[in-house]
Amino acid sequence: MTADKNILRKHHQAAQTAMEQGRLREAHQHCLAILKLDQNHADAWFLCAVIAAHNGQVAKSVEILRKAISLDPQRAEYRAELGKQLVALGNAQEALQVAREALALAPTDLPTLNTLGTVLSHAGEHGEAVHCFQQAADRLEARSGNQSRPSATWEADLYFNLATSLNFAGRLAEAEQCYERAIALQPRYFKAHSALSQLRRQTADNNHLQRLQALQKGVNGPQEQLHVGHAIAKEQEDLGQYSKAMASLRWAKAAQAKSVAYRIEDDYLLFDALEALFDKSVFSRQVSGCDNPEPIFIVGMPRTGTTLVEQILASHSRVFAAGELQNFPLQVKRMTGTSSGDVLDQETLEQSLHLDMAQLGESYIASTRPRTGHTAWFIDKLPLNFMYLGLLRLALPQAKLICLRRDPMDTCLSNYRQLFAVNYKYYHYNYDLLDCGRYYQRFDRLMRHWGEVMPGAVHELHYEQLVAEPERVSRELLAFCELPWETQCLDFYSGKASVATPSATQVRQPIYNSSVDRWRRYGDAMQPLYDMLSSAGCYPQGAGPGP
């Protein structure tokens, strides 16, 4: 071995050791020393890319990863990492392509399989994700006692990832086993505890309350408190302990609410901008959008039946459910080029009206490929797209727009009960029950605005009517979408499609009405919200809280 090769080997080993021990600055220095001697050292570039991503330089990481792949195209872990960073950039389309390229290389190492499963899950391909996570778990379990194993934390993450994808795929019993496996490895894995509580209805003989309440005493930080509190509230509600459940929800959210310091006034500014910018004159102009008829957008407040409607439509032979796509908001943000870090803000809304609407529509359609395009229609079920209904009408005038409506009190309670992603600021209103009510009032006003400025464009579907008369309402829904009636649309719960939303468990059973008027079970705790919504005209006199 030449002196230079020996030096390269030592720097490479030192860089890998430093990476494993979290000493990234030291690892970077070793990589730079390698590249000074050999600009074609693929793994040095790869390690630099991982370090860049860790430091928040995601775009730079992607650029460096492409360099590493060009130097060594057969390394599946390079493509897996590229897919991961493309997901972080919001480019799920290319991430999916890159992940499949990596799978074609038949990787066997655990970190690569775990990363690929994560990429596929983010891209909406939960069946493929399960295969990757399961393969990693099988290889892990096949190791003999004297073989090295990953840390307990890493193993717990793998089982959590596998459980989550199994849940989305409808394999609930297996998901429960994997969540328990993650908890056995890491007893304070709070995300696993909250996910486990949601998998099924808890009973007096089979629940996790004792374990959860023991954990409650030792929470460390707002997010741990949020997860364990929501889990306790869910199980208390299942057992009919509604006043205790409400108290647990208040406790769960208190620290996180203080941490994010949400102000309803900031959301008011967005609603005000939408109503001011998208007036009748905007829709009276001659605007040429993209005439592609494929998309069916399902929007509304979260937890109002959007997933149920998605599954009814997805049971049709000519419709594919693409999931909760972020594609349209991201295309608007990219094309406006606004400088803020937020995807949706007042400046972006203002600039959006100056876009070439046909180009916006075409860019959106292209961004959904290759997941879409194999059926005549596809569903984009991102609830927050209710804010983009005006732009959707302009950019994709042939698209079908469906908005779910639900009883105001049930809507607000269901939003309050939901544990949303903590880093998704557009749902921060749900840390306070009365803020849920204030937000609902502006949502309701905006939907009335859309009805005035673009009459007939949005099909409003009421959850209570759907569960009371599923066939009649489903037939009207399909007629609006210009789809012929197919009886299997009422048999949606027996389908095999993955469901990647908080409603994944509920929509795998026939339509039920037990969630109608759920708010009344909470009694006096709901009175302040009812008074607020009633004073806003949402309810007639005499319909107040009660059993």
Residue 424 · residue 360 · CB < 8 Å? no
Please state at what angle helix 209-216 crosses helix 190-198, rounded to 10 degrees.
150
Query: Can you list the domains of the chain with their CATH numbers?
Result: 189-261 (no CATH), 267-535 (3.40.50.300)
Rounded to the nearest 10 degrees, what angle do helices 470-480 and 306-314 cross at? 70
Nearest CA among 103, 2, 441 for reference residue 264: 441
Q: What is the pLDDT of residues 42-83, one digit of tens each?
A: 999 999 999 999 999 999 999 999 999 999 999 999 999 999
pLDDT of 508 reads 47
Burial class (CB in 10 A: 0-12, 13-18, 19+), 46: buried
CB-CB contact of 360 with 416 (8 Å): no
**pTM across the whole model:** 0.88
Give a three-class secondary structure readout of 416-458: HHCCCCCCCHHHHHHHCHHHHHHHHHHHHHHHHHHHHHCCCCE
Contact between 46 and 65 (Cβ < 8 Å): yes
CA distance 453 to 531: 30
Tens of pLDDT, residue by residue over 123-172, are 889 999 999 999 999 999 988 666 778 899 999 999 999 999 999 988 99
Contact 442, 329 (CB under 8 A): no
How many C-beta neighbours within 10 Å does residue 410 have?
Answer: 19
* HSE-CB for 362 with a 13 A CA cutoff: 8
Tokens 């779910």: give the residue.
404
* Close Cβ partners of 220 (under 8 Å, ≥ 6 residues apart): none
Q: What would the 3-class secondary structure string for 47-116 be?
A: HHHHHHHHCCCHHHHHHHHHHHHHHCCCCHHHHHHHHHHHHHCCCHHHHHHHHHHHHCCCCCCHHHHHHH
pLDDT of residue 545: 56
Q: Quick check: 379 and 313 in contact, CB under 8 A?
A: yes
SS3 146: coil
- Helix H segments across 150-206? 152-168, 172-185, 190-198
| Phi/psi at 75 (5° precision) | -90, 105
246: amino acid identity, one letter: M
Which residues in the chain show pLDDT less than 50? 1, 500, 504, 507-508, 547
Q: To 10 degrees, what angle do helices 152-168 and 126-141 make?
A: 140
The encoded tokens of residue 68 equal 């590493």
Torsion angle of alpha carbons 536, 534, 506, 87, nearest 10°? 20
Contact (Cβ atoms closer than 8 angstroms) between residue 294 and residue 318: no
Backbone angles phi, psi at 120, to 5 degrees: -65, -40
Amino acid at 143: R
Question: 374-406: per-residue pLDDT in tens?
Answer: 999 999 999 999 999 999 999 999 999 999 999
How high is the pLDDT of residue 22?
A: 92
> How far apart (Å, rounded) are the C-alpha atoms in residues 378 and 327?
13
